[in-house]
Structure 1
């Protein structure tokens, strides 16, 4: 290949590649110039509606009770009274109100603490938080 042919072919290659690069460089996406996708959400993020709740019940008179609050109850958001598990031959109750469920949904890193009903001369503090 002589010099003249080399220059002609190189010039033609450059002239053809400019429109191709321009067309490929323009995309129809509306990512505002951000070619990186949004990062994945934090897999450890707390979310009562997705993951349900975790609860703890304080010890009183050398025993404790347990409570389970489902993600369906959180989603429904309606006031509900729960029976704590039976322990030491008695049961306590605790009521979570609509505003408690709303607080768990809007502030998943917070927790709600309520006192149970009194039974056998004592109460328990019940803490509900998002899992």
Structure 2
């Protein structure tokens, strides 16, 4: 095989291989729908959602992030609720905290959720006890 043929075949392989590996790496989930697949095995003993409320962490996606506030009154009520994330990059996302997630927060465990899609992307949201 000459150099020109080798470079053509290597380029085609890279153009096909990289997107394929990327797609395969992101397919599927191992949390089986559990809103809290990895509860903190060593929670902060002073953290208490019912008394202190929550802290939230929103992933940076597309070069920006948003914020979320979940009041302790909502944790206590334990009823599914949809929140609007703060506005950033000229758009707003929503995230739903289910009754099962609130139950987990009442037990002082963190929960994870995914925001709605806006401007072609979503954000991962983690709510933990303060």
Shorter-chain TM-score bucket reads 0.5 to 0.7
Instruction: Output the CA distance in 2 between the equivalents of 1:115 and 1:44.
Output: 27
Deviation at 1:79, TM superposition (A): 0.3
2:128 corresponds to: 129
Instruction: Output the CA distance in 2 between the equivalents of 1:81 and 1:113.
Output: 14
Q: Which runs of 5+ in 1 are unaligned?
A: 1-42
Residues 1:75 and 2:76 are matched in the alignment: yes
Deviation at 1:86, TM superposition (A): 0.4
Instruction: Output the CA distance in 2 between the equivalents of 1:61 and 1:74.
Output: 30
Deviation at 1:97, TM superposition (A): 0.6
TM-score normalised to structure 1 length? 0.64
Report matched runs for 1:46-61 at 5 Å. Answer: 46-61=47-62
2:40 corresponds to: none
- Structure 1 outlier segments of 4+, above 3 Å: none
2:46 corresponds to: 45
Instruction: Output the CA distance in 2 between the equivalents of 1:111 and 1:46.
Output: 10
Aligned pair count? Answer: 87
Deviation at 1:122, TM superposition (A): 0.3
Structural RMSD (CA): 1.3
Bigger Rg, structure 1 or 2: 1
Q: Which runs of 5+ in 2 are unaligned?
A: 1-43
TM-score normalised to structure 2 length? 0.65
